[in-house]
């Protein structure tokens, strides 16, 4: 019974995608909606992403330095480990899980509140494709999500540099050499491929749970929690699959 319910939800999720693109809202209206979503989802997330990235980058470099107890291991390993950790996993995956809570809860609660107050029904009565009107601008806005992750990568490495050099764990030339050593450009492409897919999931899964929720204000909170859980689980599963496909 549980399996049938999950399969039904998955089927409804993919049917939602068809409805999103079936009847487009006028561009004059859509333009304003897209700009508002960019401000709500991307610009408003800059602060928390910058703060977390900077300090986690510092923590990664300090932990790496503290584990270099063998004098034969070069200090350049600190910069190398920081770069690999931040670019490959921390920035694209860890930040996306955090954004599932911040961004995803906002999307679910905003759409769910419209469902509760019957604003979505009003849109349908006026002949507006409510899924296109509500979800499409969010999907366009998250196309800028890789920009957010790019900033996260940069600040994570800067945080590692400052923690290493000013914490007395290594020198500036050693850290910079470590960041440059054995650099594989495809790792950047891999990170942004993941980021693009994660951004689509961050917009669509919470929107799905908000749009199809039933009940009142209490159910909006429950829907936000469920959306966060399923978005996080999906991100981790897709991360595993993409790592197997692209890096092995």
Higher pLDDT, 164 or 248: 164
Is the predicted pLDDT of residue 234 greater than 90, yes or no?
Answer: yes
Q: Report residue 78's pLDDT band, with 50, 70 and 90 as the boundaries.
A: confident
Q: Report residue 191's pLDDT band, with 50, 70 and 90 as the boundaries.
A: very high
pLDDT of residue 124: 83
pLDDT of residue 159: 93
Q: What is the mean pLDDT of residues 87-97?
A: 90
pLDDT of residue 215: 78
Is the predicted pLDDT of residue 172 greater than 80, yes or no?
Answer: yes
Q: Report residue 128's pLDDT band, with 50, 70 and 90 as the boundaries.
A: confident
With beta carbons less than 8 A apart as the criterion, state whether 168 and 174 touch: no
Q: What is the mean pLDDT of residues 1-24?
A: 82
With beta carbons less than 8 A apart as the criterion, state whether 192 and 91 touch: no
pLDDT tens, residue by residue, 139-149: 999 999 999 99
Q: What is the mean pLDDT of residues 100-123?
A: 87
Cα–Cα distance, 108 to 228 (Å, whole number): 9
Instruction: For residue 103, give Cα distances in angstroms to 1, 23, 123, 233.
Output: 31, 26, 24, 15
Is the predicted pLDDT of residue 162 greater than 90, yes or no?
Answer: yes
pLDDT tens, residue by residue, 20-55: 888 887 888 888 889 999 998 899 989 999 999 999
Is the predicted pLDDT of residue 69 greater than 80, yes or no?
Answer: no
pLDDT of residue 192: 92
Cα–Cα distance, 195 to 231 (Å, whole number): 14
Highest mean pLDDT of the ranges 27-31, 173-177, 191-195: 191-195
The rounded percent of the chain whose pLDDT value lies above 90 is: 38
pLDDT of residue 6: 79
pLDDT of residue 149: 92
Is the predicted pLDDT of residue 186 greater than 80, yes or no?
Answer: yes
Angle between helices 145-166 and 46-66 (to 10 degrees): 40
Is the predicted pLDDT of residue 217 greater than 80, yes or no?
Answer: no
Cα–Cα distance, 43 to 20 (Å, whole number): 24
Cα–Cα distance, 83 to 116 (Å, whole number): 46
């Amino acid at each position: 019974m549980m399996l049938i319910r999950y399969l039904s939800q998955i089927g409804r999720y993919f049917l939602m995608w068809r409805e999103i693109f079936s009847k487009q809202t006028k561009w004059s209206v859509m333009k304003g909606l897209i700009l508002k979503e960019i401000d709500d989802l991307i610009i408003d997330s800059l602060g928390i992403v910058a703060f977390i990235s900077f300090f986690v980058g510092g923590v990664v470099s300090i932990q790496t330095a503290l584990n270099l107890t063998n004098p034969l291991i070069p200090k350049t390993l600190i910069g190398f480990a920081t770069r690999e950790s931040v670019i490959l996993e921390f920035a694209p995956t860890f930040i996306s899980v955090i954004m599932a809570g911040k961004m995803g809860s906002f999307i679910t609660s905003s759409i769910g509140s419209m469902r509760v107050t019957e604003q979505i029904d009003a849109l349908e009565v006026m002949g507006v494709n409510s899924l296109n009107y509500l979800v499409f601008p969010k999907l366009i806005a998250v196309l800028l999500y890789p920009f957010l992750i790019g900033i996260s990568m940069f600040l994570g490495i800067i945080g590692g540099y400052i923690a290493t050099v000013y914490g007395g764990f290594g020198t500036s030339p050693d850290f910079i050499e470590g960041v440059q050593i054995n650099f594989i450009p495809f790792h950047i492409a891999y990170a942004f491929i993941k980021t693009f897919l994660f951004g689509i999931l961050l917009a669509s899964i919470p929107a799905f749970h908000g749009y199809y929720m039933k009940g009142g204000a209490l159910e909006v909170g429950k829907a936000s929690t469920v959306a966060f859980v399923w978005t996080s689980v999906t991100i981790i599963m897709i991360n595993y699959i993409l790592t197997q496909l692209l890096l092995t």
